[in-house]
């Protein structure tokens, strides 16, 4: 945040009294100005709450945050099992926030910052940033942190993805020098129900080509994470087996790519395609239901959380072979 020098004329008696009280007058005036600007966009009741003075100084008591504190917090988040990429994103979100508030636990500036980013981002992106700021402030035991309440996600109807949409996308991406790679990605995505992030993180030794098994690993040390923090397996059809075989032969024999499906490369190729990579998973879910597949098995294959699902948490135990037999029956193998 840039700084600008401003000269103000104040009554000398006021300046002397502030000095005797040990106040940083420049900082106090800046805080009050930010506070006043923030009050212009809040309800009368909220305005009253914000104007309540602190017991000690008449204005908010601030705690300086050091870069070492942020670094310590990020280490603890890493221990919890988040990926390196997500850790980097959290660091970016919090560094941007802390720079704005001048690395202080400043409630008024925090409100101002949140109001600013609300105008800049979609609801989804805004919610994500709010949650990360609130979680960090909770870590610091800031008592007003829970007052940060981002808006709810807007309701939306899922997009219906059909076999025609998949065919149009395959046709759209034909002809380029990445045709083998893109076809392998599409077929694997619609057969396995993997998340886009999981496809990007996939390694060649996670694919059992002979048995048509995909191992979706949660291994943060190797840059692989799942939403539930648990590893799982899924499967693919014989058609995908043939497509994957061709691509893996190419990948393992002189291909310059270091990853099977590098995120930036794939996103660039799909930029103007009929569907997005994340919609391949949506197709799997919808097609499984269209074929009458059991929802409980779909949840296991797609890596949905089993929390709150009594049947999956306590009763439904399936072996790898059980799952494969059900998968093949539903997918027409």
In a domain, residue 191? The reply is: yes
Say what the pLDDT of residue 56 is: 40
- pLDDT at residue 282 in the model: 96
Contact 193, 227 (CB under 8 A): no
For 83, phi then psi, to 5°, come to: -75, 165
Let me know whether 44 and 74 are in one domain.
Answer: no
At 182 the pLDDT is 96
Strand partners, 215: 233
In this structure, are 115 and 39 located in the same domain? no
Residue 1 lies in a domain: no
Mark whether 138 and 233 lie in a shared domain: no
Q: What is the pLDDT of residue 48?
A: 45
Residue 54 has φ and ψ, to the nearest 5°, of -80, 160
Q: Are residues 118 and 182 in the same domain?
A: no
What's 103's domain CATH number? 1.10.150
Residues 30 and 116 in one domain: no
Q: What pLDDT, on a 0 to 100 scale, did the predictor assign at position 313? A: 73
Judge if 182 and 245 occupy the same domain.
yes
Q: Yes or no: say if 237 and 212 are a contact pair by the CB < 8 Å rule.
A: yes
What is the predicted pLDDT for the residue at 1? 54
Q: Which residues of the chain have pLDDT under 50?
A: 45-61
Q: Residue 159 to residues 77, 100, 171: CA-CA distances in angstroms? A: 34, 38, 20
Instruction: Identify whether 4 is part of a domain.
Output: no
What are the strands, taking DSSP E only, across the chain?
207-208, 213-216, 232-235
Residue 59, exposed/middle/buried by CB under 10 A (0-12, 13-18, 19+)?
middle
Q: Give residue 39's pLDDT.
A: 56
CB 280 within 8 A of CB 190: yes
Q: How far is CA 133 from the centre of its chain?
A: 14
Within-domain flag for 232 = yes
Domain membership flag for residue 154: no
Q: What global pTM score does this model have?
A: 0.64
Q: Give me the residues paired with residue 233 across strands.
A: 215
**pLDDT on residue 232:** 95
Rounded CA-CA distance 35/60 in Å is 10
Q: Which domain holds residue 79?
A: 67-147
Cβ(248)–Cβ(204) under 8 Å? Answer: yes
The reply to whether 199 and 320 lie within a common domain is yes
In whole angstroms, give the CA distance from residue 291 to residue 299. 15
What per-residue confidence (pLDDT) applies to 59?
45
**Cα–Cα distance, 205 to 216 (Å, whole number):** 11
- Nearest to 85, CA basis, from 201, 193, 257, 247: 201
Place of tokens 């002397």: 16
My answer on whether 80 and 20 are in the same domain is: no
Give the chain's domain count: 3
* Structural domain contains residue 274: yes
- Nearest-CA neighbor of 190 among 265, 66, 278? 278
The pLDDT of residue 47 is 45
């Amino acid at each position: 945040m840039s700084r600008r020098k401003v000269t103000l004329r104040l009554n000398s008696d006021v300046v002397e009294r502030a000095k005797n009280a040990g106040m940083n007058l420049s900082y106090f005036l800046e805080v009050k100005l930010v506070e006043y600007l923030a009050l212009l966009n809040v309800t009368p009741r909220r305005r009253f709450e914000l104007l309540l003075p602190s017991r000690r100084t008449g204005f908010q008591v601030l705690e300086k945050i050091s870069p070492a504190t942020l670094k310590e917090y990020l280490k603890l988040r890493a221990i919890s099992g988040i990926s390196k990429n997500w850790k980097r994103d959290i660091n970016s979100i919090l560094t941007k926030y802390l720079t704005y508030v001048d690395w202080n636990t400043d409630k008024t500036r925090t409100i101002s910052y949140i109001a600013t980013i609300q105008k800049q981002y979609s609801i989804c992106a805004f919610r994500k940033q709010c949650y990360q700021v609130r979680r960090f402030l909770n870590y610091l035991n800031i008592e007003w942190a829970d007052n940060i309440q981002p808006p709810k996600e807007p309701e939306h109807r899922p997009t219906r993805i059909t076999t025609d949409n998949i065919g149009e996308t395959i046709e759209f991406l034909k002809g380029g020098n990445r045709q083998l790679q893109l076809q392998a990605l599409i077929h694997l995505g619609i057969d396995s129900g993997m998340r886009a992030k999981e496809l990007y993180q996939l390694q060649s030794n996670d694919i059992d080509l002979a048995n048509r098994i995909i191992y979706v690993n949660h291994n943060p040390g190797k840059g692989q994470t799942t939403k539930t923090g648990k590893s799982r397996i899924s499967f693919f059809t014989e058609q995908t087996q043939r497509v994957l075989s061709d691509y893996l032969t190419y990948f393992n024999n002189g291909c310059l790519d270091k990853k099977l499906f590098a995120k930036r490369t794939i996103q660039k190729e799909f930029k103007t395609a009929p569907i997005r990579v994340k919609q391949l998973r949506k197709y799997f879910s919808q097609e499984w239901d269209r074929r009458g597949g059991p929802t409980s098995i779909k949840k296991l294959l797609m890596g949905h959380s089993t929390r709150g699902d009594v049947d999956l948490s306590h009763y439904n135990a399936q072996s790898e072979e059980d799952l494969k037999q059900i998968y093949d029956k539903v997918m027409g193998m």
